[in-house]
Amino acid sequence: MDYILSIVILACINMIAVLGLSIFTGFTGLFSLGHAAFVGVGAYTSAILTYYYSVPFPLALAAGAAAAGAVSLVIGIPTLRAKLRSDYFAIAILGFGEALRVILENLEITNGARGLPGIDSFTTLPVVLLCLAAGVLVARNFLRSRWGVACIAIREDPIAAEMAGVRLFQTRLLSLVVSAVYCGLSGGLLAHFLSFIQPVMFTLLQSTQLLAAVIAGGMGSITGPLIASFVFIALPEALRVAQMWRLVAYGLLLVLIMVYRPQGLMGYSELSSLWRRKVPEPGRRQP
């Protein structure tokens, strides 16, 4: 039972990070290969706060999320202002994530590459579920707000959106910060669940896994990526497939999705719309 519980908790923690990336990638249309670094910043900030300074857990979680948001500004301001081509941006943030990891590996306070052991395990199922529910609610409201609609407009056509008065830089930056805050929260929960963190847990591979969940779940959908990330975490654990083959399958899945179903599992629709009226697909440009 404990085993199943821990899988569920792990999957929910992952879902929070995927939710964040979904706002940035699925709804704003920018790809990131570096969001695992934000998870790492959140994890380390909150873990250091509870470990060295015995800050209360909720406060440390909030601080971790805030730190991730602040760090995202460092990369977001120059790259988003420069209006990089979308694939250049993905690579810039990849480089940023890797650089951040190297820094984590060489700081005194993070205990370097050996990792930080013995973090108190405060993360329980109710805490995770509460965070996830709050996260979904906030994401839903954000996407229905002015800013969220602006994000979606940018995804559909940045130039048309700009002409209609959407401020590209500010909106994209906001979306990046929001997504980084989600990742930071997920990191804080992760650190206090595993009670051990190590820089190697936040590499390009993890960023790819997050992105894979968003793409497999479907761009422009909240529920799709959540389902995908749950399946990605829970299914291999349940089937007890070796860790390596899981990653082989991730890679294959990414290629197959791009080749056969680039819109993903639930592209541009939500779970709820399956039994409600059929939502027409937003006007996607024909290739």
Partner 1 sequence: MFLQTLITGLSIGGIYALMAVGYSLVFSVLNFSNFAHGAVIMLGAYVGLALATKLNFGFGLVLAGSVAGAGIIAVLNEKLAYSSLRRRKAPSLYLMISAMGCAVFLENLVYATIGSRFYAFPEFFGRQVVTIFGSSVSLLDVGAFIFALIAILGLHLFINRTRTGTAIRAGVCDMTMCSLMGVDLNRLIAIVFLLAGAFAGVAGVFLGIKYLVYPTMGWVTNKAYIAAVIGGLGSLPGALAGGLILGVVETFVSTYISSVLRDVFSFTLLIAFLVWRPNGLMGIDSEEKV
Binding mask 13-32 for partner 1 (x = CB under 8 A): ------------------x-
CB 165 within 8 A of CB 144: no
- Using CB atoms within 10 Å of the CB of residue 215, give its burial: 0 to 12 exposed, 13 to 18 middle, 19+ buried: buried
| Among the listed residues 4, 5, 59, 103, the single contact to partner 1 using CB under 8 A | 103
| Closest distance of CB 181 from partner 1, Å | 22
| Closest distance of CB 115 from partner 1, Å | 17
Q: Is 9 or 215 the residue whose CB approaches partner 1 more closely?
A: 215
Among residue numbers 65 through 84, which ones bind partner 1 (CB under 8 A)? 75, 78-79, 82-84
CA separation for the pair 256, 159 (Å, rounded): 30
Q: How far apart are the first and last CA of the chain?
A: 49
| Closest distance of CB 257 from partner 1, Å | 8
CB 116 within 8 A of CB 47: yes
Q: Is 34 or 188 the residue whose CB approaches partner 1 more closely?
A: 34
Residue 52 lies near partner 1 (rule: CB under 8 A): no
CA separation for the pair 251, 249 (Å, rounded): 5
Residue 176 lies near partner 1 (rule: CB under 8 A): no
| Closest distance of CB 242 from partner 1, Å | 7
Location of structure tokens 């082989």: 248
| Among the listed residues 118, 126, 240, 244, the single contact to partner 1 using CB under 8 A | 244
| Among the listed residues 52, 56, 87, 130, the single contact to partner 1 using CB under 8 A | 87
| Closest distance of CB 136 from partner 1, Å | 25
The contacts of residue 59 (CB under 8 Å, 6+ apart) are: 49
Enumerate the β-bridge partners of residue 197: 116
Q: Which stretch binds partner 1 (CB under 8 A): 38-46, 101-109, 142-150, 166-174?
A: 101-109
Residue 208 lies near partner 1 (rule: CB under 8 A): yes
| Among the listed residues 55, 136, 234, 254, the single contact to partner 1 using CB under 8 A | 254
| Among the listed residues 8, 200, 231, 247, the single contact to partner 1 using CB under 8 A | 247
Among residue numbers 128 through 167, which ones bind partner 1 (CB under 8 A)? 159
CB 152 within 8 A of CB 158: no
Q: Which residues contribute to the site for partner 1 (CB under 8 A)?
A: 31, 33, 75, 78-79, 82-88, 90-92, 94-96, 98-99, 102-103, 106, 159, 204-205, 208, 211-212, 215, 242, 244-245, 247-248, 250-255, 258-259, 262, 287
